[in-house]
Amino acid sequence: MAEKIEFKTEVNKLLDIVINSLYSEKYIFLRELISNASDALDKLKYWKLTNPELTTASGELRILITPDKENNTLTISDNGIGMNRDDLINHIGTIAKSGTSEFLQNAKDNESAIDLIGKFGVGFYSAFMVAEKVEILTRRADTKQAYLWVSNGTNGFEISEAEKESNGTDIKLYLKEDAKDFTDTIYLRNIIHTYSEHIDYPIVLNLGEAGEETVNRAAALWTRNKADITEKQYKDFYQHVTKNFDDPWMTLHFKAEGSLEYTGLLFIPTKAPYDLFQPDRLTGIKLYVNKVFISDKVEGLMPAYLRFVKGVIDSADLPLNISREMFQQNALIAKIRQGVVSRLFKELKKKAQNEDDYEIFWKAFGIAFKEGIYEDFANREEVAGLSRFYSTKSVDKLISLDQYIERMTAEQKEIYYITGDDAQTLFCNPMLDAFKQKGIEVLLLTDPIDEFWTQTLLSYKGHELKHISQAKIDLSFDRNEVKADDEGLKLLMEKMGEWFKEDAGKVEATDKLTKSPASLTVEDGQMSIHLERLMRNHQQKTNFDSTRILLINPYHPLIIKLSELIKQEEKKDEVKSAAELILAQAKIAEGEAVSNPGAFSEQLCSFILKACGE
């Protein structure tokens, strides 16, 4: 008796996208199904090793492609792990992976759908681009019971018990009228050559009476000689392991020799994935032991800040039958990680010589990469050296810390930075006035993560890293301007201290400002205003405010004027009102909100009116 099961809503939506918008790249279904078959063979290989009692599975592992011109069908078979009834329902009938809703949101247009297909476990559904009906006949390697799954891609699917001689899966596609080409052996051979050449198992074309023909070389790509691999083959393999559709930005293929031998074929994508910052996305590396796929979840294999690196690591020196969990603590894994990380750094350094190309990498992965400065204690200088920043002297071209050091001024010892929400706002921060005046470069750091690594990386190549508010450098410069008179200034600052108790713990005069009358900062060693704001926004902060200091520029005409007026009792209200505007302005320059926007704008209007002569 066949059991009828409806597709989940999201599957219906997905099928709709797959069937209706992926029309231009129909052949990708074959790559997807071959890829699934290859995964199923990988799983069986591992299963057999760890469960020696499993005897059902036999025969050479392979993928068989059978076109049938007469009946207009195409069957993709594998003698891999197979599926039982639950597997069929859980893996094929639903989209189990998180991120489905993101897929559906993002895949509004054709191009992004193609880009995203495969990443969310939608690979199988691509069969419906070419098939009006799909049958899956499958038997799991640990049972004799087979199942038949049938669907036309619109009204759910049916499952019934069935007979199958051996373990594995046959996926039979009843081709649509316009997909008849896929029974043509020349065409099929061509597609397999182009897209699945790197597959580790023989892909055999069933030519009926003419026999069988193995189409690919069936040698795991990473085991082959570099010189024999074309860029195209690397790219296809990259797309196979990552399920991405872009080009690899970097390809690194190496053999490590010595006491511990392993091979790595690693890639950095060109584009950042949507889930770069999802906490469960910790690794992108598939671990093989002597060509047997073990796991793609071995956490210790790659540090989390390099989670965007994808590919394969294969070592014959690892124990094969320890459990996947055990790998986490394995000392050899830690050793491999060390070796791989240093190779990656070396390669990145090479790539960094081409600044424009490196910028592509930095813009996609820089934020994640910088986590390494505080996570990877041993390598933090390396990571910092490979990091890129904007600065007051380079607002739209990224620079390195080494470039920064090269152009430090003669008296400068420290590396200066300022943190905030965006580079343009930061660039106009009044606290930078004196630095600009003296030609001292300041890094403009705008990622939330910058607040954290700057607390750990205390120096780089012997130069201390300092927030500008903590700069130990003489920032005074010759001023031949008029200064507010001492007595008036003192009184003004006293009054401001009283009025603005809430906003500033202290009011101090400074000679670091030029164009601005005032600026806000914090006491040495305290949490910066920007970090406080970040934490406030994430509700992580309640009441541990740093002591804010309102810095006053005694050379500014406004301050000079107010220092005069404050001495006249009858002008007190006017001065207070003007001082309030100065405070608000200082807050805005820091990226803070004014306490009472309504009152602020009223006050501002009345001042403007006065200025207009009203």
Site membership for ligand ADP, residue 81 (CB under 6 A): yes
CA–CA separation, 261 and 14 (whole Å): 44
Rounded alpha-carbon distances, angstroms, from residue 398 to 13, 368, 404: 42, 16, 11
CB nearer to ligand ADP: pick between 21 and 169 = 169
CB nearer to ligand ADP: pick between 92 and 312 = 92
For ligand ADP (CB under 6 A), the number of binding residues is 16
Provide, rounded to whole angstroms, the least separation between the CB of residue 123 and ligand ADP: 3
Provide, rounded to whole angstroms, the least separation between the CB of residue 31 and ligand ADP: 11
- Could you tell me which stretch among 77-85, 271-279, 308-316, 400-408 binds ligand ADP (CB under 6 A)? 77-85
CA–CA separation, 419 and 533 (whole Å): 11
Site membership for ligand ADP, residue 124 (CB under 6 A): yes
CA–CA separation, 107 and 101 (whole Å): 10
Provide, rounded to whole angstroms, the least separation between the CB of residue 426 and ligand ADP: 42
Site string for ligand ADP, 17-56 (x = CB under 6 A): ---------------x---xx--x----------------
CA–CA separation, 76 and 134 (whole Å): 11
Site for ligand ADP in 591-610 (CB under 6 A): none
Provide, rounded to whole angstroms, the least separation between the CB of residue 35 and ligand ADP: 7
- For the chain, how many helices (H) and strands (E)? 20, 23
Residue position matching structure tokens 């091979």: 263
Provide, rounded to whole angstroms, the least separation between the CB of residue 122 and ligand ADP: 6
Site membership for ligand ADP, residue 201 (CB under 6 A): no
Which residue of this chain has its Cβ atom nearest to ligand ADP in the complex? 123
Rounded alpha-carbon distances, angstroms, from residue 227 to 254, 263, 347, 463: 12, 15, 18, 43
Site membership for ligand ADP, residue 121 (CB under 6 A): yes
- Residue 4 host element (H or E): strand 3-5
Which tokens hold the place of 50?
Answer: 């760890």
| Type of residue numbered 98 | S
* Size of the chain, expressed as the number of residues it contains: 614
- Could you tell me which stretch among 74-82, 214-222, 399-407, 412-420 binds ligand ADP (CB under 6 A)? 74-82
- Could you tell me which stretch among 79-87, 288-296, 350-358, 428-436 binds ligand ADP (CB under 6 A)? 79-87
Per DSSP, what are the bridge partners of residue 416? 466
Helices (H), 301-422: 331-352, 355-369, 371-375, 380-386, 401-406
Site for ligand ADP in 154-193 (CB under 6 A): 169
- Could you tell me which stretch among 8-16, 119-127, 546-554, 575-583 binds ligand ADP (CB under 6 A)? 119-127
CA–CA separation, 549 and 529 (whole Å): 11
Site membership for ligand ADP, residue 263 (CB under 6 A): no
Strand 310-314: give its sheet, edge to edge.
248-256, 262-269, 310-314, 285-289, 292-295
Provide, rounded to whole angstroms, the least separation between the CB of residue 80 and ligand ADP: 5
CB nearer to ligand ADP: pick between 123 and 554 = 123
- State the first-to-last Cα distance of the chain, in angstroms, to the nearest integer: 91
CB nearer to ligand ADP: pick between 121 and 153 = 121
- Could you tell me which stretch among 115-123, 283-291, 335-343, 519-527 binds ligand ADP (CB under 6 A)? 115-123
Q: Which CB contacts under 8 angstroms, 24+ apart, belong to 27-31?
A: 27/182, 27/191, 27/195, 28/114, 28/117, 28/126, 28/129, 28/195, 29/126, 29/127, 29/129, 29/130, 30/76, 30/182, 30/188, 30/191, 30/192, 30/195, 30/196, 31/191, 31/195, 31/196, 31/240
Question: Which of helix, strand or coil describes residue 597?
Answer: helix
- Judged by CB under 6 A, the residue of 67, 93, 99, 123 near ligand ADP is 123
Site membership for ligand ADP, residue 91 (CB under 6 A): yes
Provide, rounded to whole angstroms, the least separation between the CB of residue 500 and ligand ADP: 59
Provide, rounded to whole angstroms, the least separation between the CB of residue 455 and ligand ADP: 40
Q: Which residues bind to ligand ADP, rule: CB under 6 A? A: 32, 36-37, 40, 78, 80-83, 91-92, 121-124, 169
